[in-house]
Amino acid sequence: MCGIAGFSGPDVTSDPARPVLDRMIRTLAHRGPDGYGFHAEAGVGLAHARLSIIDLATGDQPIHNEHRTVWTVFNGEIFNYIELRNELEAAGHRFYTRSDTEVIVHLYDRYGDRFVEHLNGQFAIALWDSERRRLVLARDRAGIRPLFHTRSGGRVWFASEIKALQAVLPDCSTLNPLGLVQTLTYWSAVDPDTVFAGVQSLPPGCLLSIEHDGRETLTRYWDWTFPSAEETSPARYPRSIEAATTELRELLVDAVRLQLRADVPVGAYLSGGLDSSGIVALIRGFTDTPVRTFSVAFEDGEFDESEHQMAMVRHLGTDHTTLRCTRRDIGEAFPRLVRHAETPVLRTAPVPLMLLAASVRQHGYKVVLTGEGADEVFGGYDLFKEAKVRRFWARQPDSRFRPRLLERLYGYLPNSPVRNPAFAQSFFGQGMEHLDRPIFAHAPRWMTSRRALSLLSPELRASVGAWEPLGAYERTLPAGMMSWSPLARDQYVEAKSLLAGYLLSSQGDRVAMAHSIEGRFPYLDHRLIEFASRLPPSWKIRGMTEKYLLRRALAGLLPADILQRTKQPYRAPDSQSFFFDGKPLDYVADLMSGESIRAAGYFDAAAVTRLFDKCRSSRATGFADNQAFVGVLSTMLVHHQTTAAATQKKRAA
Alpha helix ranges (H) inside 379-483: 382-394, 421-428, 443-449, 458-463, 469-474
- On whether the CB atoms of residues 594 and 602 are closer than 8 A, the answer is no
Of 375, 352, 313, whose CA–CA distance to 569 is shortest?
Answer: 375
What pLDDT is attached to residue 291?
A: 87
Round to whole Å and give the CA distance between 339 and 634.
10
Among 624, 644, 640, CA closest to 588:
640
Question: According to the model, what pLDDT value does residue 425 have?
Answer: 64
Q: Is the pLDDT of residue 10 over 90?
A: yes
The C-alpha angle with vertex 54 and arms to 49 and 57, in degrees rounded to 5, equals 80
- Give the separation between CA 518 and CA 1, rounded to whole angstroms: 6
pLDDT at 525: 98
- The CA–CA distances, whole Å, from 232 to 205, 227, 235 equal 28, 9, 8
Are 572 and 351 in contact by the 8 Å Cβ rule? The answer is yes
Asked whether residue 408 carries a pLDDT value surpassing 80, the answer given is: no
Do strands 206-210 and 583-584 pair parallel, antiparallel, or not at all (unpaired)?
Answer: unpaired
Report which DSSP code applies to 203.
P
Residue type, 369: L
Which residues lie below 8 Å from residue 421, measured CB to CB, with a gap of 6+? Answer: 403, 404, 407
What per-residue confidence (pLDDT) applies to 59? 84
Instruction: List residues with catalytic annotation.
Output: 2
pLDDT, residue 431, reads: 74
In the predicted model, is pLDDT for residue 128 greater than 90?
yes
Asked if residue 232 has pLDDT above 70, the reply is no
Asked if 196 contacts 176 with a C-beta cutoff of 8 angstroms, the reply is yes
E strand or H helix at 360, and its extent? helix 350-362
> 408 versus 498: which is more confidently predicted?
498
List of domains in the chain: 2-220 (3.60.20.10), 225-441+478-572 (3.40.50.620), 575-652 (no CATH)
pLDDT at 336: 98
Q: What is the pLDDT of residue 230?
A: 76
The residue type found at 28 is L
What digits encode the pLDDT tens for the residues 531-569?
999 999 999 999 989 999 999 999 999 999 899 888 778
The partner residues of 129 in beta bridges, in order of sequence, read 70, 134
Segment 419-426 shows an average pLDDT of 62
Label residue 413 by pLDDT band (50, 70, 90): low
pLDDT tens sequence across 23-77: 999 999 999 998 999 999 999 999 999 988 887 777 899 999 999 999 999 999 9
Helix (H) or strand (E) holding 105: helix 102-111
Q: What is the pLDDT of residue 27?
A: 97
> Per-residue pLDDT for 607 more than 80?
yes
What does the pLDDT average to over 253-273? 94
Amino acid at 249: R
CB-CB neighbours of 624 under 10 Å: 15
- Tens of pLDDT, residue by residue over 267-318, are 999 998 999 999 999 999 999 888 899 999 998 888 889 898 999 999 989 9
- Select from 315, 342, 347, 344 the least CA-distant residue to 330: 347
Q: What is the pLDDT of residue 204?
A: 98
Average the pLDDT over each of 96-110, 137-151, 289-303, 624-638 and give the range with the smallest value.
289-303
The three-state secondary structure class of 552 is helix
What share of the chain has pLDDT > 70, as a percent? Answer: 92
- Examine the pLDDT at 653 and tell me if it is beyond 90: no
pLDDT digits (tens, 9 = 90+) for 306-352: 898 999 999 989 999 999 999 999 999 999 999 999 999 999 999 99
Q: Give the three-state DSSP class for 253.
A: helix
Share of the chain above pLDDT 90, in %: 78
Helix H or strand E encompassing 7: strand 2-8
Q: Bigger pLDDT: 456 or 397?
A: 456
pLDDT at residue 58 in the model? 76
Contact by Cβ (8 Å): 360, 335: no
Measured from the Cβ of residue 607, the count of other Cβ atoms closer than 10 Å reads 16
Q: pLDDT at residue 125 above 60?
A: yes
Q: At what angle do helices 350-362 and 327-341 cross, to 10 degrees?
A: 90
Phi, psi for 125 (deg, rounded to 5):
-120, 135
Q: Long-range contacts for 200-204 (Cβ within 8 Å, ≥24 apart)?
A: 200/148, 200/149, 200/150, 201/146, 201/147, 201/148, 202/124, 202/137, 202/138, 202/139, 202/147, 202/148, 202/149, 203/139, 203/143, 204/139, 204/140, 204/141, 204/142, 204/143, 204/500
Mean per-residue pLDDT, 440-462: 89
- What sign for the dihedral angle of Cα 534, 539, 545, 548? negative
Please, which residues bridge with residue 255 across strands?
A: none
Task: Look at 79-88, 429-438, 506-515 and tell me which has the smallest mean pLDDT.
Answer: 429-438
The reported pLDDT for the residue numbered 248 is 97
Q: Which of 384-398, 475-489, 507-521 has the lowest mean pLDDT?
A: 384-398
- 614-639: average pLDDT: 91
Q: Give the pLDDT mean for 635-651.
A: 82
Hey, what amino acid is at 35?
G
pLDDT over threshold 70, residue 429: no
Beta bridge partners of 218: 208
pLDDT score, position 646:
67
> Which pLDDT score is estimated for 421?
64
| Alpha carbons 518 and 268: distance in angstroms, whole number | 11
In this prediction the pTM is 0.95
* pLDDT score at 201: 98
For the segment 499-518, what is each residue's pLDDT rounded down to a tens digit? 999 999 999 999 999 999 99
Q: How confident is the model at residue 447 (pLDDT cuts 50, 70, 90)?
A: confident
- pLDDT given at position 565: 84
Residue 158 has pLDDT above 70, yes or no: yes
Under 8 Å between Cβ of 192 and 212: no
pLDDT number for residue 618: 87
What integer pLDDT is reported at residue 593 of this predicted model? 97
Is 90 exceeded by the pLDDT of residue 603? yes
